[in-house]
Structure 1
């Protein structure tokens, strides 16, 4: 389980922004078969994140083939490698947390969100401390150091909103970037006072005697959209029928991921998270929404503007794929 959803996804920002999300050097008629028909082949960026379970459940259940989409998963342990493949056209369907994705779009990339990946639920993301810590409440985090996977990304964005809800001042919290596998040790060594965790590390920390200070999916950030699937606008233009079929298939795959047994099964795949059965059965899971929700996504955009993380004036409705739109 040596993976970090937040830190790997954050690498998309630098890699895709640098490349400009340009096209690959394919043939004269991208998206077409040799006979001139629209291609139904879709190569998906697959990363070892819980949020992407819907994709793997869909593959396991044959949903994509049923919808006429020949989808294959291209596996990456590093999102930078995945983003390079996406930019070059080797991968058609990308995946990222919304903070990283919105920053990419803010930098000029012409992308559309074709399906939501996950929405946070209580217990998945949390700020935790050792049992002996004097920190008891959110307000107690003022003047303290808090470990996060990536600065100015998902965890600090959500915690800042929770801090404001509690009447605390985010400016009085010092965020420290710590690699996820080292987070527990950093707290125990006194390098930081508290840490933000995401499953399965939330459960692992609890198993080591850490207790909850605050859930990150509460108040302003309740039902918070965390990650989504995206494609290039030019890809949609070249393959309108395939794009529509892909959106339908992803929605059905997400629906099937509501069955916990199906999710636990795919989490144990050697090509996915390689999680053991005991851990897969114990951890909290995110929700897997069946369609993008503009109002929900707008909350992330608005919060990012509060934090000064976006420059552009776009709205959530501008970013969501609609067939024929």
Structure 2
């Protein structure tokens, strides 16, 4: 009910859905963050006091839902959320008033793959014709990458059915036969390979969108306007944690079990994306534009996306 009310208020141009901030003491920022490799620097910044040094108290609740992170920001349930870039661009293009605070990482080879079960006869994307592929949400970079690969192979881009499934459930729906394949990132990718014998038939970091920006943190336009100083501090602290993460990959792996359900033996096998060391999110506009253009080309946006109001600074 609160989400519907806040969406209505936003549509009418009203306020009142943003997170409340204390008048004194540390500024509190509540964050929804999926249990993935992209969010490790956030937790490192919390654990090592980088946010506290900026006068911030960050409260990060893990969100394992599918596509709910953007809604939680728009609805005012949290102040900030990590979202895959395609989902946040979709919300922005629909006029929902989100701002990109930071991009966390870019994909490296093997970090996200289309997996099939150990007994599957599929050997390529073409073998999934007419079948269901589990994806993170209705708007995600995996859809772009798969459609791009199909086009490159001279196949129809609608050859495969995309089914939104929460990341922790990908193993269950694949093992249960509800889908023929899943598009899965670490740490769940490593878990499915290790525990289910799943195997990859396509690496989404290859092809046209190789090295794509995975996702980042978004806030509402209202929250951004009211909390400019706090968000600048957030960017600085996250940058410090990102630099630390890049310099200490083993600590990235040991951090995963602290905020996910993944055990240490699986966390030790994950592929770590390239964390982006910049506090100036506008410097990444060319990469975001590349994703936005692909969204229009492959049916996830019905017109060009004007990025002029998307970035925080």
Shorter-chain TM-score bucket reads 0.7 to 0.9
Indicate whether 1:302 and 2:293 are aligned. Answer: yes
Q: Is the 8 A contact 1:16 1:83 kept in 2?
A: no
1:20 corresponds, among 10, 14, 17, to 10
- Summarize deviations over 1:189-233 as a string: whole Å, max 9, x none: 655433322222222232222222110111112111121112233
Q: 1:315 aligns to what?
A: 306
Which shows bigger deviation, 206-215 or 307-316?
307-316
Q: 1:285 aligns to what?
A: 272
Q: 1:4 aligns to what?
A: none
1:125 corresponds, among 93, 112, 119, to 112
**Structure 2 length as normaliser, TM-score?**
0.80
Cα deviation for residue 238 of structure 1 reads: 2.7
- Summarize deviations over 1:91-114 as a string: whole Å, max 9, x none: 433221122211211221222211
Partner of 1:268, secondary structure, is: helix
Indicate whether 1:239 and 2:230 are aligned. Answer: no
**Structure 2 CA distance for partners of 1:250 and 1:90, relative to 1, 3 Å:** same
Q: Which consecutive unaligned segments of at least 5 residues does structure 1 have?
A: 1-12
- Summarize deviations over 1:55-111 as a string: whole Å, max 9, x none: 101111222233x23132141435588667645656433221122211211221222
1:251 corresponds, among 227, 231, 239, to 239
Q: Is the 8 A contact 2:111 2:186 kept in 1?
A: yes
1:268 corresponds, among 257, 263, 286, to 257
Q: 2:28 aligns to what?
A: 42
1:153 corresponds, among 120, 137, 140, to 140
Indicate whether 1:227 and 2:218 are aligned. Answer: no
Tell me the matched-pair count: 301
Q: Which consecutive unaligned segments of at least 5 residues does structure 2 have?
A: none
- Summarize deviations over 1:230-261 as a string: whole Å, max 9, x none: 22333333333333222222222222221222
**Distance in 2 of aligned mates of 1:131 and 1:89:** 42
Q: Is the 8 A contact 2:118 2:197 kept in 1?
A: yes
Q: Is the 8 A contact 2:105 2:273 kept in 1?
A: yes
Q: Is the 8 A contact 1:267 1:275 kept in 2?
A: yes
**Structure 2 CA distance for partners of 1:120 and 1:45, relative to 1, 3 Å:** same
Q: 1:135 aligns to what?
A: 122
- Summarize deviations over 1:239-284 as a string: whole Å, max 9, x none: 3333322222222222222122222232222xx2143211111122
Partner of 1:20, secondary structure, is: helix
Partner of 1:245, secondary structure, is: helix
**Structure 2 CA distance for partners of 1:232 and 1:69, relative to 1, 3 Å:** farther
Matches within 5 A, 1:87-236: 87=74, 91-178=78-165, 180-181=167-168, 183-184=170-171, 186-187=173-174, 190-207=177-194, 208-236=196-224
Q: Is the 8 A contact 1:130 1:210 kept in 2?
A: yes
Which shows bigger deviation, 110-119 or 188-197?
188-197
- Summarize deviations over 1:4-27 as a string: whole Å, max 9, x none: xxxxxxxxx999856638643789
**What RMSD, in angstroms, separates the aligned Cα atoms of the two structures?**
3.3
Cα deviation for residue 49 of structure 1 reads: 2.0
